[in-house]
Amino acid sequence: MSIPVIVDCDPGHDDVFALWFAAGHPSLELIAVTTVGGNVPLAHTSRNARIALTVAGVHDVPVSAGAAGPLSRTLATAEWIHGENGLGGPVLPEPTVPLDPRSATELIADKLRAAAEPVAIIATGPVTNIAVLLRDRPELADRIREIVWMGGSTERGNVTPYAEFNAWVDPEALALVVASGIRFTMVGLNVTHRALVTSAVRARLAAVGNRTARFGDELLEFFCRTNDEVFGMPDGPLHDPVAVAVLADPASVGLVHTRLDVELAGAETAGATSVDLDGMLRREPNAWVATSLDVDGFWAGVEASVARLA
């Protein structure tokens, strides 16, 4: 039986592949997509989510726009990786998937109420929308099966030495979500940096041969180039789909139950995720944290999902 999921995202090249992974996998039922300001401003992330579904031939999933910026900070974006419009590389088609008139939190609330069972939320950007939902509609918390988030790290960051981008953009929202008591899984850079888009991976995905794969290959060409220019990583790490794998193929992602705290202050440490893998602080575990990835199994799942799309 498939798991109903909502993907909350800020597309971004890797968010697009996360959407395709969720839309094409038989273990998941994608029931809504919500967007947030993150990699690029909200107008772009919302349009990009609609483009991703349009290319894939997914026209029965509502898309709505959410928070334009963090709870209490000024939005910082990542055009230096994703390009000015968030999907640098291909010529972007006009989306035929409409923007739902409801706000992201309204759409999520409606889907949670209507679902026959609790719904999982996969977040691949700053978790501002989820924090707003839990702050303003706490009675819906028990309708959320779990939250799986791509962000953070047990090691170093990618926007400061200590902070990963999604955590750094809105650490206050992250702290609120982690403290909610809802099952929370962090899929950080320590694992996503193993999901490298090698030339063999690109060839494998391109060989699928459908419209989705062709568009995806153009995205990866740009994404790998900017990762090489910025981080010296010519095989760009495709972060966000790893969060989808936690639900789509649980055997492919190893998790540990441990303590996760979020740093909210500090010139260089704001947004850092403090993961107490060795129990040094003697605090109760409050999160599941990804620590390993079956790389071949992960890419097989992505490939199969892309092949099921248009």
CA distance 242 to 213: 18
- Residue 262 confidence (pLDDT): 98
Specify whether the CB–CB gap between 126 and 241 falls below 8 A.
Answer: no
Query: What domains, with CATH codes, occur in the chain?
Result: 3-307 (3.90.245.10)
pLDDT of residue 31: 98
Half-sphere exposure of 239 (CA within 13 A, CB side): 30
Is residue 29 within 8 A of residue 142, CB to CB? The reply is no
Q: Residue 47's pLDDT is what?
A: 98
CB 32 within 8 A of CB 15: no
Establish whether 193 is a catalytic residue. no
Q: Distances from the Cα of 285 to the Cαs of 181, 189, 191, 207, in angstroms? A: 11, 20, 20, 43
Give the 3-state secondary structure of residue 150: strand
Strands (E), the chain: 3-9, 28-35, 63-65, 119-123, 144-150, 184-187, 253-262, 273-276, 287-293
CA distances from 161 to 71, 150, 224, 254, 268 (A): 23, 18, 21, 25, 7
pLDDT in tens, the chain (310 residues): 899 999 999 999 999 999 999 999 999 999 999 999 999 999 999 999 999 999 999 999 999 999 999 999 999 999 989 999 999 999 999 999 999 999 999 999 999 999 999 999 999 999 999 999 999 999 999 999 999 999 999 999 999 999 999 999 999 999 999 999 999 999 999 999 999 999 999 999 999 999 999 999 999 999 999 988 999 988 999 999 999 999 999 999 999 999 999 999 998 899 999 999 999 999 999 999 999 999 999 999 999 999 999 9
- Per-residue model confidence (pLDDT) at position 1: 86
| Residue 258 confidence (pLDDT) | 98
Q: What is the pLDDT of residue 265?
A: 94
Cis check: omega of the bond before 12, within 30 degrees of 0: yes
Give residue 10's pLDDT: 98
CB 28 within 8 A of CB 5: yes
pLDDT at 128: 98
- The pLDDT value given to residue 279: 95
CA distance 51 to 90: 12
What is the per-residue pLDDT for 145? 98
Tokens 């403290």 belong to residue = 179
> What 3-state DSSP class applies to 30?
strand
